[in-house]
Amino acid sequence: MASSGGIRSLFTRTPAASAVPAATPADRADFAYLADRDVYLDSACQTMRPQPVIDAVTAYYTEDNACGGRVRYDAGRRVDEQVAATRAAVLGMLGLSRQRYACSFTLNTTYGLNLLLHQLPAGRYRRVVTTHTEHNSVFLATMAFARRTGIPRLVVERTAGVVQVDDDALVDALVVVSAMDNVHGTVTANLADLVARTHRRGGTVIVDAAQAAPHALAALRGTAADAVCFSAHKMYGPSLGVVVASRDLLAALELTFVGGGQVAAVTEHDFVPADEPHTRLEPGLQAWAEIIGFGAALRWFARQEDAIAQREGSLAARLYDGLQSLPHLRVVSPAASAVVSVLPERVDAHRLAVFLAKAHISVRSGHFCAHHWLAEREALPPLVRFSLGAHNTGADVDRALEVMGRMMRGL
């Protein structure tokens, strides 16, 4: 795996916008299907898929198209080999040992988080801890967990990326937090320390890494969280959820969502779970093509991780500075990041997003599944969010700023 130096540079401001080279055909060689006029700035929802990923999915359907798992024929064995390789690549990406961790595939990050929280044993934890700045996938799932288990739920502040929680609150606690928020793009600065502190006090940490996986791998590597959940479709892969969890945590689950592929034996009134811990979260037929496609995405990403990070960092600074210079626009994000949210002052955010769409610029508007944080706590109306990906070029940013400039100056 490439080093994480480039990932860290994403969050370091680039002094000169001229550091971003003009777009060339090579910049988007793996995204050649994108029309030159289309500017896609919604990668926080899902990224564009590079051609090797599309090719891998197509190859599955046209060459094997087989079920994996307990299969004896050649095509099925090839599927099993590719799925196993993807699991290993995920663990390698996070720097985690397969002796202590296992990789499962689900529908998406929200689904993975809920599969864990709805099957953790009642009576194990004194409280559940999360922050005010979480995506609904964490915020609502911890709410449901507290109600199911009858324990208190503590919602704490996150200041400048630091989760503010006392040691006493971590005793036998379930802590569920994101590694990077999806509104400001701020990385959780004390994640590794939070995990270590929680473990020393008998607690468990589950991390929402949906935004961090594609943009801040350095914040995830070596944290030793009990579980890390993220989405392949935010990391250049097909639509798929990924859960990396410790074998101890998976073994402790009280399975209530159960089906084929999860058992070693079944009697009239009981069953024996399969030996492989990843099966605890994988009932029924798996998304073979998507898993194989994500393996291709990981190989593609690993070859150019630093280059992607450096380019994103430069583009983020260029976009952030450009948006700050526009009239009638408040930049809500505190610093340049791959995710930047703004509040237009003289036009509704949804209406602005429609205007941008008519100019072939795709952004997201709303509260971005962070309703408690943005609507209740900050009392903010809907915002507009620009989010970058590996397919973006300097020409994309310039075009977005030029169109935004004309719109904002015309208000």
Query: Is residue 236 a contact partner of residue 392, using CB atoms and an 8 Å limit?
Result: no
Residue 12 Cα to chain centre, angstroms: 21
pLDDT at residue number 27: 62
Each residue of 179-201: pLDDT tens digit? 999 999 999 999 999 999 999 99
Q: What ranges do the domains of the chain cover?
A: 26-50+305-410, 66-302
Torsion of CA 218, 223, 228, 230, to 10 degrees: -10
Answer whether 237's CB lies under 8 Å from 256's CB: no
Exposure letters 43-55 (e unless 16+ CB within 10 A, then b): bbebbbbbebbbe
CA dihedral 134, 135, 137, 138 (to 10 degrees): 0
Inter-residue contact 163 to 156 (CB < 8 Å): yes
Tell me the HSE value of 257 on the side-chain side, using a 13 A CA sphere.
17
pTM > 0.85: yes or no:
yes
In tens, the pLDDT along 250-268 reads: 999 999 999 999 999 999 9
Q: Look up tokens 């960092």; give the residue.
A: 313
CATH of segment(s) 26-50+305-410: 3.90.1150.10
Mean pLDDT of the chain: 93
| 162-176 pLDDT tens trace | 999 999 999 999 999
Cβ atoms of residues 208 and 177 within 8 Å? yes
| pLDDT at res. 28 | 85
**Do residues 177 and 194 touch, judged by C-beta distance below 8 A?**
yes
Neighbours of 389 (CB within 10 A): 24
What does CATH list as the number for 66-302?
A: 3.40.640.10
Cα atoms in the 13 Å half-sphere on the side-chain side of 167:
5
d(CA 138, CA 109): 9
Which strand (E) or helix (H) includes residue 209? Answer: none
Q: Is the pLDDT of residue 178 over 70?
A: yes
Amino acid, res. 10? L
